[in-house]
Amino acid sequence: MDTKYLFKRHNTYWVKVAVPKDLRKELGFDLRTSLHTHELSEAQKLREAVVEGFKSQIFAAKENLKQSNGKGSVKTFMPITDTSDPQYYHKVVDCQYACPAHTPVPEYIRKISQNEYTEAYMINWESNVFPGILGRTCDRPCEPACRRTRTHEKPVAICRLKRVAADFKDDVSNLLPKAPSNSNGKKIALIGGGPASLTVARDLIVMGYECTLFEKDPQAGGLMRTNIPSFRLPEEVLDAEVNQILDMGLNTKFNSEITSLKNFLHEDFDAVFVGTGAPKGKDLNIEGRKEAKANIHIGIDFLTSIAFEHINSIGKKVIVLGGGNTAMDCCRSSLRLGAEDVKVVVRSPFSQMKASEWEIEDAMEENIPIFENHVPKKFIHDEGKLTGMEFQKVEAVFDAKGNRSLVPTDDDPVIIECDDVLVAIGQDNSFEWIERDIGLEFGEWDMPVVNPTTFQSTHPKVFFGGDAAWGPENIIWAAAHGHQAAISIHKFCQNEDINKRPEPGTNLVSQKMGLHEWSYDNDISQAKRFLVPKADQDVALKSLKIEVEKGFDENLAMEEAQRCLNCDVQTVFSESLCIECDACVDICPTDCINFMFNGPEDEVRQNIRIPALNIEQDLLVSKILPTKRTMFKDEDVCLHCGLCAERCPTGAWDMQTFLYEEAKVYS
């Protein structure tokens, strides 16, 4: 099996190509693109295309460099790692680093393994605001990042452990912050009642801001309420976590859609946060769309109607178009509304479907077939009554840059009968209500120009976040945006420079308690990832309200928590103590540690005991040691077992817990 330049992470192959260090300025750090697929053979093809495509680019860059400075042969050395930069150790904690809100994952998993669910919940609540909701619905960028995908196979079930914290916590109402008794006199308007606005509200209310939420629907929650079916996210879980914020002292105006930002800006607010999401489902304007419109529905509108109980039935035969999470929710909701024959039809190959792997699995477990490589051609109707759809079969072809095109095959058109079609092929933003003459600039794709760090638009008073800022993402991104926007709004209202961002809080504490005692559990569990128990399908499919996943019980949660490798317990190296006895090199189970002469990064990466091919992972580079050698530690597959520190005679290695707390407006 040829896996050069391919990295497997949790059933997904990523194509990555290392770029020589001196060319990184021109070509970027590495040529990893967003090329990823579940199929090895496909990944290999992609890789070939990418490598070929970049060869000429690398060659040209090399020539350029030679001509420009003429000193291409000067030997470079890897710089000493600056571990005082909070991002170095942060990056070692792969899950936390991958989380947009930088939730301290290993920290709360340790709390769960100590049965301290409330503490685990509060750690989550601090970072991501909606632990119970996210514990069921998060897109889990943390899981493919989990070190276990590199050292074992499957990642820790981080998301479902988050749910455990929410499920088993005590009453947290006393632990939640309240608004101070005196307002600071500043008024903030939040447009849209979704996770981004709620996060901004939570952060600003405790600072004394008077926040007012404007929501077009009768309840707050945004897409969490309208787009996520109850069988994935029960209403009481949603209500509990949304109410936590409403009860802090948030003024709410429900059923109040803002139709003109121009007029709204005349109202008495010091700043406006726009968190209106991406509420417009894409339509499919092909033959027959107008005629058969009675039975063609837009996916997210369909889900919203179910949430507010405006719909309670659907035809017997349903086609769902699209391969994203909305499509998965649509097909499973259809089954529960009484459809007997539900099919998902996707334009792309199965392996490139946008939906999360587990959501696809859930749909397939409910016996919903997925047809890949079918491009919709027309709606077939009998005098306005929808009877079926016609599709063209295609094949995915990749060019040298990895761009995909869908080429029709010679097969005959495919006709699938149906009574209803749900179109879930993407979402757009909808900014008709923002006038274009108010000093708020719009850019590409008719999206507002938003500063990616401050979330400020070109109108200084108006801030954006969540899907409204850069298009559809996941709830966890909305929470991350909300925290940053709150910081900006605060600085803006206090006349501070909003470009100066607060530093994260960090803490590094030794775990050594005695000669051979460590205050963390460093046994490496060999257990396989535990599956979450599910409700009996016969029962679950009968109702929209029965939650399919039952969540881990306490025992399962404990076992799953043990699988965490404690990547936040860092291997900290002190050059001044090292006697270069090699004990750590000999004992390290994954051969991470090396003592050798320094050189250019590519050479070092090749020459260490086991070449460090995963360029996404850093090398810890020490200062020069008495024998003129340097210690290099490849962070890639370090198990954080602590054996290096245990076998070190002088304490040059120490295991220290690194806590990284993303700055909040109130911290």
Partner 1 sequence: MTYIVKPVNHHPNLEKNKLGLTRRDYEGTISTLCAGCGHDSISAAVIEACYDLSISSDQIAKLSGIGCSSKSPSYFLNQAHGFNSVHGRMPSVATGANLGNKDLLYLGVSGDGDTAAIGIGQFMHAARRQLNITYIVENNGTYGLTKGQFSATNDQGSKSKYGEENVFAPIDLPTMAIQLGAGFVGRSFSGDKQQLVPLLKAAMKFEGFSLIDIISPCVTFNNHLGSTKSFDHIREHNESVSSLDFVPIGKEIKTTYKEGTKVDVPLHDGAMLTLEKLSKKYNPLDKGQAIQSLNEAEKNGKVLTGLLFINPEVKDHAEILNISDTPLNQLAEKELCPGAKKLAKINASLN
> Three-state DSSP class for 323?
coil
Range in contact with partner 1 (rule: CB under 8 A) among 26-34, 87-95, 167-175, 574-582: 574-582
Q: Does 616 bind partner 1 (CB under 8 A)?
A: no
Q: How far is the CB of 151 from partner 1 (least distance, A)?
A: 6
Nearer to partner 1, 358 or 518 (CB): 518
> Three-state DSSP class for 605?
helix
Secondary structure element (H or E) that encloses residue 9, with its range: strand 6-9
Please choose, from the candidates 434, 478, 480, the residue with its C-alpha nearest in 3D space to the C-alpha of residue 459.
434
Do the Cβ atoms of 562 and 521 come closer than 8 Å? yes
Range in contact with partner 1 (rule: CB under 8 A) among 145-153, 177-185, 435-443, 503-511: 145-153
Torsion, CA 263, CA 265, CA 266, CA 267, rounded to 10: 110
Q: Does 613 bind partner 1 (CB under 8 A)?
A: yes
Nearer to partner 1, 38 or 152 (CB): 152
Q: Does 591 bind partner 1 (CB under 8 A)?
A: yes
Q: Does 509 bind partner 1 (CB under 8 A)?
A: no
Nearer to partner 1, 470 or 653 (CB): 653
**Residues 134, 362, 470: CA angle, nearest 5 degrees:** 45
Do the Cβ atoms of 428 and 277 come closer than 8 Å? no
Q: Does 611 bind partner 1 (CB under 8 A)?
A: yes
Beta strands in 454-537 (DSSP E): 462-464, 505-510, 512-514, 517-518
Say which residues have a Cβ less than 8 Å from residue 516's Cβ, sequence separation at least 6. 646
Q: Does 507 bind partner 1 (CB under 8 A)?
A: no
Taking the alpha carbons at both ends of the chain, their separation in whole angstroms is 50
Distance, CA of 407 to CA of 394 (rounded, Å): 5
Distance, CA of 402 to CA of 198 (rounded, Å): 39
Applying CB under 8 A, the site for partner 1 has a residue count of 36
Residue from the set 648, 654, 657, 660 that interacts with partner 1 by CB under 8 A: 648
Binding flags for partner 1, 152-191, as an x/- string (CB under 8 A): x---------------------------------------
Q: How far is the CB of 519 from partner 1 (least distance, A)?
A: 13
Q: What's the farthest any 2 CA atoms get from each other in the chain?
A: 88
Q: Does 643 bind partner 1 (CB under 8 A)?
A: yes
Give the phi and the psi of residue 166 in degrees, each rounded to 5. -70, -40
Q: Does 364 bind partner 1 (CB under 8 A)?
A: no
Q: Does 637 bind partner 1 (CB under 8 A)?
A: yes
Distance, CA of 469 to CA of 451 (rounded, Å): 9
Q: How far is the CB of 616 from partner 1 (least distance, A)?
A: 15
Range in contact with partner 1 (rule: CB under 8 A) among 275-283, 311-319, 492-500, 606-614: 606-614
Q: Does 590 bind partner 1 (CB under 8 A)?
A: yes
Range in contact with partner 1 (rule: CB under 8 A) among 55-63, 332-340, 568-576, 581-589: 581-589
Distance, CA of 301 to CA of 217 (rounded, Å): 13
Do the Cβ atoms of 211 and 200 come closer than 8 Å? yes
Q: Does 587 bind partner 1 (CB under 8 A)?
A: yes
Return the residues of window 515-544 that contact partner 1 according to CB under 8 A: 516, 518, 522-524, 526
Residues engaged in binding partner 1 (CB under 8 A): 150-152, 516, 518, 522-524, 526, 579-583, 585-587, 589-592, 610-611, 613, 626-627, 637, 639, 641-643, 646-650
